[in-house]
């Protein structure tokens, strides 16, 4: 009996499968990146397949999505926070001199995406081109003040630290002071490269300060 039962079962399964295939909906013509769902379940699911190895590699480096979404997002620096940063690195955030860092900060609330309470607009969360360029503009305008504070040893967050030595070479302690994390050899190397690549050394020093601050405070 078994000799006939297995082939019969396979045949029945094949017939059933082919019959069911006729009932399947036609293949979804949606383009890559679209989502798809069934007619009875309107929950959409990503239609793309992903490489499990890429996913595993990403999870190993970044952690699970529930963790990365909290720890590795990159919101813009809040307007008030930026004011504190400026003060911390020796920039007068209340300076009213035209196109000084303080002036750009005070008059740049709109471009920086600060909250607009009268119009019931909350502070922007994401980084925008206009917001980032204004923030970087502030750092560029404030670079001379930062260098002066280092020279005078009066920088608020790390008094006495030096950013450049007598030969205009970048010092790790100064970079650490600006970024808030220990400076690496690459930091020092890039800093020195900035100083020497500019049109002159004083400009190079300002460019280095502006670029270091901009990179350190791109995200909150």
Partner 1 sequence: MAKSPFAKRDEERDVTRRALIKWTVAAGAALGVSRGKIIEILEKTAGKETAFQASENPSTRSVHIVPGNGGASWFTLLFPVPAIASANDPNLSYHKPGMGSMMAGTDRPYYVGPDTPFATLSPSQQMTGFVCGRSQAHTNDAQTTIAQLNNNNIFAFATALQASTPAVVPVVAINGLTIGTAPGGAQVTAVGDATQIVNLFNSAASRAGGLLSKSQDATTYAVQYSAFAQLNRASGRSTQKISYNTAVGAAGLLGTNLAAKLAIQSADLTRYGVTGGTANNIKAIANALIVAVKSFKMGLCSSIVLPAMNDDPHGAFADGRVNTVPGQLKGIMDAFMTDLKSTTDDVTNKVLADDTVITIGGDTPKDCTSHAGGNWGDGTPGGSNFLWCYSAGHLKTGWFGSIAPSGTVTGFDGNAAAATYNPTNTAKYALASIAYAIAKGDERAISPFANGVAISGIFGVPKQL
Contacts with partner 1 by CB under 8 A lie at 30-35, 37, 39-40, 42, 44, 58, 61-62, 68-69, 72-76, 99, 104, 110-111, 116, 118-121, 126-134, 136-137, 140-141, 143, 184, 186-187, 190, 193-194, 197-199, 203-204, 206-208, 210-212, 214-216, 218-219
Nearest residue (CB) to partner 1, 22 versus 200: 200
Nearest residue (CB) to partner 1, 138 versus 161: 138
| Cα(13)–Cα(172) distance, integer angstroms | 72
SS3 call for 15: helix
- Which residues, in sequence order, are bridge partners of residue 46? 35
Cβ neighbours, 10 Å, residue 80: 11
Nearest residue (CB) to partner 1, 58 versus 162: 58
Min. distance of Cβ 80 from partner 1 in angstroms?
18
Min. distance of Cβ 36 from partner 1 in angstroms?
9
SS3 call for 208: helix
| Cα(93)–Cα(108) distance, integer angstroms | 12
Min. distance of Cβ 159 from partner 1 in angstroms?
24
H-run or E-run covering 103 = helix 101-106
Nearest residue (CB) to partner 1, 3 versus 61: 61
Number of residues in the chain: 220
Nearest residue (CB) to partner 1, 21 versus 119: 119
Distance of CA 200 to the CA centre of its chain: 31
Min. distance of Cβ 114 from partner 1 in angstroms?
10
Nearest residue (CB) to partner 1, 94 versus 193: 193
Q: What is the widest separation between alpha-carbon atoms in the chain?
A: 100
Min. distance of Cβ 161 from partner 1 in angstroms?
18
SS3 call for 51: coil
102-118 as b/e, with b when 16 or more CB fall inside 10 Å?
Answer: bbbbeebeebbbbeeee
Min. distance of Cβ 138 from partner 1 in angstroms?
9
């Amino acid at each position: 009996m078994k000799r006939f039962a297995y082939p019969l079962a396979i045949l029945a399964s094949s017939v059933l499968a082919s019959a069911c295939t006729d009932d399947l909906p036609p293949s979804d013509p949606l383009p890559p990146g679209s989502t798809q769902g069934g007619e009875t379940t309107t929950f959409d699911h990503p239609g793309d397949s992903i490489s499990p190895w890429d996913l595993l590699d990403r999870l190993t480096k970044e952690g699970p999505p529930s963790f990365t979404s909290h720890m590795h997002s990159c919101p813009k620096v809040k307007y008030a926070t930026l004011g504190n940063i400026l003060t911390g690195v020796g920039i007068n955030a209340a300076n009213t001199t035209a196109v000084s860092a303080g002036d750009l900060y005070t008059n740049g609330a709109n471009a920086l995406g600060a909250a607009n309470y009268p119009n019931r607009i909350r502070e922007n969360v994401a980084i925008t081109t206009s917001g980032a360029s204004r923030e970087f503009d502030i750092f560029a305008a404030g670079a001379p003040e930062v260098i002066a504070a280092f020279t005078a040893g009066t920088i608020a967050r790390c008094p006495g630290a030096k950013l450049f030595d007598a030969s205009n070479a970048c010092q790790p302690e100064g970079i650490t002071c600006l970024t808030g994390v220990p400076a690496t050899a690459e930091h020092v190397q890039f800093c020195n490269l900035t100083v020497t690549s500019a049109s002159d050394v004083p400009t190079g020093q300002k460019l280095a300060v502006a670029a270091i601050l901009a990179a350190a405070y791109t995200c909150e």
